[in-house]
Chain A
Amino acid sequence: MSAPAKLSDVEPRFFTRAQWASFIVPTLVLALLLPLLNALLPADSLLRPSDFTLNLYGKYATYAVLALGVDLLWGYLGILSLGQALFFSLGGYAFGMHLLLMIGKDGQYKSDLPDYMVFLGYKALPAHWEPFYSFPFALAAVLLVPALLAFVFGWLAFRSRIKGVYLSILTQALTYAAALLFFRNDFGFGGNNGFTDFKRVLGADLNSPATRRALYIASIALLAAVFLLYRWLTRAKFGHLMQAIRDGENRVLFSGYATARYKLFVFVLVAAITGLAGALYVPQVGIINPSEMTAEKSIEAVVWVAVGGRGTLIGPIIGAIFVNALKSWATREAPERWLYILGGLFIVVVLFLPGGIVSLPTKFRTFLAKLRRPPSGPTAS
């Protein structure tokens, strides 16, 4: 009943018309309709998404960007990086520095210095903080600091062909070392408590519903843009090369491609974008501290991807939302069970559902097909 597929059907260049529709419609609903409803409808209307809901969705969107990065590296390139939470938090810290300076004299100590600096007895703002008064500089730092770290680490690691499990362990160690560093008070980034009590961004009050809506829209827009970018990357020749590196790096190497450079490029690109997501995450949750950059957080992001379905771009988004929704439900209803649920999710997905949630419909269809068409051949006598 199915006609032989043409090559163009199997691998459309970018989006088919139906795919465009299924991309644009949810994006518009999320980015425009929900904020509009939130802004215009009266507070008691059933159709109005609450401020809390928007904030939550905005947070999930930044998580989804983080998960997309993990997936691009793991699902397409075969690099299981356990350091993505580090890049996420570095972006968050860079933007947090700007937000902290924007508090001005409204802090607890009514000083120009951030509260924790007053508390620790700083006399003047350290020199490397000065430029963070500028928003463009902070934005540049959000992108460049994670990218620079990724470049140095990636250059060292990929050059000496460290891969697979070893790379995972090294990224984990890197994250661990960075978290240790940030936990220290004398490292100068607020120690345990990190940065919090932000007041305004670009002159707008962070607590006003309008600012929160804007941050939400920015998060959804970022997610949509990153999705398109990664889609384009994976569909281009570059994407085939990534998958080839994943499946047999040496063969690609012997075909004359400098695989280390491709890997380094993707690693750095993903780090910068993940940093951007972290920067959007921080004003929405209102705090950034070193517990965000632990290896556990990175592994959690890997779970989102595994649960959603790696090697697809929609999977990580579904996974990030599903696991986090499950987490907020479980930590509310049965906090002591959450680790069991998360741990069990890992094991079940890895053992029984390697394709993740997105593979469920296909599995279901093949299951139905099997039911409908009983196996031919001799039946038992």
Chain B
Amino acid sequence: MLRTLSIFLFLLAAAALSAAPDASRARLLAALVAPADQQVAAVRALVGLEDAALVPTLTAWRAAELYLVTTGTASPVPALLAPLPGDADGRLQALAVADGLPVKDPATGQPLTFAPKELKALDTTAPLRRAIRDVLEVAGVADPSPAVRRESIERLGQSRKADHLPLLQARLAIEFSPAVRSALQDAIAFIQLADPAVEVRLQAITDLAAAHSLAAAARFKEQIALPADAPGAASPVELAALKTAVKTIEDHWSRVNFFGNLFRGLSAGSVLLLIALGLAITFGLMGVINMAHGELMVVGAYATFVVQNLFAAAFGPGSLAFNFYFLAALPVAFAAAALVGLVIERGVIQFLYKRPLESLLATWGVSLALQQTFRLVFGPANVQINAPAWLQGGTALYDVAFAYNRLFVIGFAVLVVFGVWLVLNRTPLGLLVRAVMQNRQMASCIGVKTTRVNMLTFAFGSGLAGLAGACLSQLGNVGPGMGQLHIIDAFMVVVSGGVGNVLGSVAASLGIGVTDQLLQPVLGAVMGKILVLFAIILFLQWRPGGLFPTRSRSLD
């Protein structure tokens, strides 16, 4: 008997689920046109109804914007009024609640139109409006979107009304999304905190502590702070449980924050590393102060912007191919920045290899001219770069959020460092580069074409700046002044890492990035940065040559 009943119920549920839109819509419509004395009950019965039209319809009803449209002989149709598209007289069409389509004249088949105020809105009474409000309050629990469900469940939990308990428990039985389930459990525990039974309350406290709910911690602290004789104060047993729970939750979140900051620090360090690697090559290996390095980075960022626009024009901004524009932009950014770098080297820097201080001034002049060019070509405002879908959003592991774009930057930096190491240490070009950097005259004497090596090395370093710019375009704003923001940090990395040393740059940029991010929550963004700068100055007292100084016997 029981078994037949459960099978029957299961079939019923299955039927309800498969026919959900129609069946639930019918219940909604029935409530709208129910006789006046049964209407409040009918509306209250809508609680938990899974229907997309529920919220808009009830909201309109409460605001007196729901209408009954009479069409010929048929029974009146509940409908919402909407402006008639392309009509200048301000006439309105009626969208039926049943299917969301315009109500048509049964005789002509044409949509009916109305002048404003022609129809009279459906009446509501005070008890009815209260009923509608109560239904709307919990409507989100059955919303098709998990995010909406979660938010409204959390709100119900915060309200701590015991009336919501049955609804939430019923939902928990059928909810499938893990995130919403955990929100449901939290909300239920939250409501149970006010349960008359001590065991239930203690269990709820334990549950919330295990769920690491921050809202619960705040609530617990309030309760702990209550004087012992105040109403609602906790018993000694409960108090102990509350204190343990608060500690568990706070420990958890401070760990999460620490790892989150560590991760952000690693990704900030990776960005720094990408910028500083190019600098480590042009400044470290070649001894040239390229103040235009930041602008070369901006060239890469704008190259990404141009490629993005080309892809959007060719494939459409929503298409699948558009998502791969970034992969195409990377080599373009490298090439564009390398080309600009080549021009700078030929035009200015080749004359200044023996005058490093003056190369600083001349390249600063170049950077001014480049900035102005960006302003003239791309406008003074930041340009809009849309991250491809696979770089948006993120994932969370033990509550620590990992944004995809930051993960990507870390991975990309690892790749680039490896690539630079390969080029410098495992290719003929790298051999020549190192030879020229160690002793330009000697290399020249044994037949190395030093001018060409200089040219290529500088272009390579500039190209790396372009790659950094392409990456940065996914993390922040792209504008003409963007280069200046990062250049000083990058110089600090090269100085503190030790000149002419890729490994030093890696260590220094990660160190600076992580320290910066760990200090920021404590001291604020600006003070953290300033402290890092002073730390670097002090660090150079201890090791003037940086982390990994180049050892040399030569003296000027």
A interface residues (Cβ-Cβ under 8 A, vs B): 74, 80, 153, 156-157, 159-162, 164-166, 168-170, 172-174, 176-177, 180-181, 183-184, 248-250, 295, 299, 302-303, 306, 336, 339-340, 342-347, 350-351, 354
Contact = CB atoms under 8 A, between A and B. Distances in A.
B495 A339 contact: no
Given A165-B289, A339-B372, A172 B491 contact: yes
Nearest to A354: B358
27 contacts: A74-B357, A157-B537, A164-B356, A165-B356, A168-B289, A168-B357, A170-B540, A172-B488, A174-B537, A176-B533, A180-B526, A180-B530, A250-B556, A295-B488, A302-B361, A306-B361, A336-B376, A342-B365, A343-B369, A346-B362, A346-B368, A347-B365, A350-B348, A350-B361, A350-B362, A351-B348, A354-B358
Contact of A80 (B360, B533, B541): B360
Given A162-B540, A173-B491, A173-B533, A168 B556 contact: no
Q: Which 4 residue pairs spanning A and B have beta carbons closest together?
A: A346-B365, A343-B368, A343-B369, A339-B372
Given A177-B533, A299-B364, A347 B358 contact: no
A37 B283 CA distance: 54
Given A80-B357, A299-B361, A340-B369, 16 more contacts: A74-B357, A159-B541, A160-B540, A165-B287, A168-B357, A169-B492, A169-B495, A174-B537, A250-B556, A295-B488, A339-B368, A340-B368, A346-B361, A347-B365, A350-B362, A350-B365
Given A173-B488, A354-B358, A346 B556 contact: no
Chain B interface, DSSP helix/strand/loop, else mixed: helix
Nearest to B532: A177
Given A177-B533, A181-B530, A343-B368, A249 B361 contact: no
Contacts of B488: 169, 172-173, 176, 295
Interface string B532-549: 011011101100100000
B414 interface: no
Contacts of B356: 164-165
Contacts of B283: 165
Interface string B366-379: 11110110011000
B357 A346 contact: no
Contact of A339 (B371, B492, B555): B371
Given A340-B369, A343-B367, A350 B352 contact: yes
Nearest to A250: B555
Given A250-B556, A336-B372, A343-B372, A164 B357 contact: yes
A344 B372 contact: no
Contact of A343 (B289, B366, B526, B530): B366
A209 to B, nearest CB: 37
B273 to A, nearest CB: 18
B351 interface: yes
Given A177-B534, A351-B351, A343 B365 contact: yes
A286 to B, nearest CB: 27
Contacts of A159: 541
Interface of B: 283, 287, 289, 348, 351-352, 356-358, 360-362, 364-369, 371-372, 375-376, 488, 491-492, 495, 526, 529-530, 533-534, 536-538, 540-541, 544, 555-556
A346 B491 contact: no
A187 to B, nearest CB: 9
B544 A165 contact: no
A347 B351 CA distance: 11
B369 A344 contact: yes
Contact of B491 (A169, A303, A339): A169
Nearest to B359: A350
B368 A161 contact: no
Nearest to B543: A160
A250 B351 CA distance: 26
A339 B361 CA distance: 14
A342 B533 contact: no
Contacts of A165: 283, 287, 289, 356-357, 360
Contacts of B492: 169, 173
A51 B85 CA distance: 66
Nearest to A170: B537
A365 B541 CA distance: 49
Nearest to B357: A80
Contacts of A183: 526
A263 to B, nearest CB: 15
Contacts of B529: 177, 180
A342 B544 contact: no
A310 to B, nearest CB: 10
A153 B371 CA distance: 31
Nearest to A172: B488
A145 to B, nearest CB: 17
Given A177-B529, A181-B530, A346-B361, A340 B540 contact: no
Contacts of B362: 346-347, 350-351
Highest count of chain B CB atoms <10 Å: which of A162, A249, A339: A339
B495 A249 contact: no
A262 to B, nearest CB: 17
Nearest to B369: A343
Given A180-B529, A336-B372, A336-B376, A173 B365 contact: no
A153 B360 CA distance: 22
Contacts of B348: 347, 350-351
A160 B544 contact: yes
A380 to B, nearest CB: 29
Contacts of B555: 250
Highest count of chain A CB atoms <10 Å: which of B357, B362, B365: B365
A339 B369 contact: yes
Given A170-B495, A295-B488, A248 B556 contact: yes
Nearest to A74: B357
A161 B351 CA distance: 27
